[in-house]
Amino acid sequence: MKKLRAVLIQAPLWIYFVISVYPLVWMISYSLKNNDEIFVTNPFGFPTHFRIENYTAAWSQFNIPRYFMNSFIVSSISTLLIIVLALMFSFAIARMRWKFRESVRLYMTIGMFMPLQVIMIPLAILVRDFHLTNTYGALIVPYVAIGLPFSCLIFYGFMKGIPGELEESACMDGANIYRMFIQIIVPVVTPAIATVAIFQFLSNWNEFMLAYILISDEAMKTLPLGLLFFQGQYSTDWGGMGAVMTIASLPMVIIYLFFSEQVENAMTVGSAVKG
């Protein structure tokens, strides 16, 4: 009876697990088939023959390395700038006392509710006027601006939960505000930094709309744009397209595995700090 109850309790979780994992398994399986298996003989099963040549063809016959490098540069720099700027801004509004800090915090929060479609045309004009079109800056600057409100909100919540005794002890030891920020606050909010790093990197890595509008030079295109044009140029090579999608997913999976423990800690760090 206990086993039956345990099975009934765990069944929804297993169903959810299968539904969540199946798209990833299907994509990898899809990348190892040819067109005949994908559409006719074996559309939902595992590949009967692992066609590694799909990966070699996708990597060698298309400009995937260039797109991959562009996405990595843009996503990495944007995420790094977002974390640094959001940490400093959140420290200023959460741990310091000055006249307009609440107004500035509200102004930053409103940025989260600004639809991307509203700012696309003004943003394209600004990028053109600043001569950033077809450069890394054309994507890095907007990505940083768009990612700051959400990141500041997360860091602000974590920093508000840090007890003031930590800062008071640091002051008694002679720490100035810069040392307090770097050696006291930043280490405490490390789980929040990992969480923001994952979300922002994934968001920047998968971003398509702004890249499509602001980048037209073939050498500066990112991986999502490359996938679009891969479909148009090699519309019959579905196995190769699956291989490209699998390659594009690898950095996200690796980053999540690397930071997953920190993200789990982020769920409990507030109570831990308070305790």
Contact 219, 194 (CB under 8 A): no
User: Does 35 fall in a domain?
Assistant: no
**pLDDT tens digits for 168-223?**
888 888 888 888 888 888 888 888 898 888 889 888 988 888 888 888 888 888 88
Alpha-carbon gap, residue 74 to 222, rounded angstroms? 8
- The range of the structural domain enclosing residue 101 comes to 60-272
**pLDDT tens digits for 52-95?**
888 887 777 777 788 889 999 999 999 999 999 999 999 999 88
Residue 159 tokens, joined: 């920093």
Helix (H, G, I), strand (E, B) or coil at 177: helix
User: What local confidence, expressed as pLDDT, does residue 274 receive?
Assistant: 46
User: Does 223 fall in a domain?
Assistant: yes
**pLDDT tens digits for 145-162?**
999 999 999 999 888 888
CATH at residue 245: 1.10.3720.10
User: What local confidence, expressed as pLDDT, does residue 236 receive?
Assistant: 61
Among residues 84, 127, 117, 144, the alpha carbon closest in space to that of 220 is found at: 127
Alpha-carbon gap, residue 232 to 32, rounded angstroms? 20
User: Does 95 fall in a domain?
Assistant: yes
Residue with tokens 């843009």: 74
Contact 153, 109 (CB under 8 A): yes
- Structurally, the chain folds into a number of domains equal to 1
Among residues 147, 262, 134, the alpha carbon closest in space to that of 204 is found at: 147
pLDDT band at 266 (very low <50, low <70, confident <90, very high): low
Alpha-carbon gap, residue 257 to 28, rounded angstroms? 18
User: Does 133 fall in a domain?
Assistant: yes
User: Does 5 fall in a domain?
Assistant: no
Q: Is the pLDDT of residue 227 over 90?
A: no
User: Does 162 fall in a domain?
Assistant: yes
The amino acid at 125: I
User: Does 183 fall in a domain?
Assistant: yes
User: Does 228 fall in a domain?
Assistant: yes
Burial of 99 per CB tally in 10 Å (0-12, 13-18, 19+): exposed
Q: Whole-model pTM?
A: 0.79
User: What local confidence, expressed as pLDDT, does residue 151 receive?
Assistant: 92
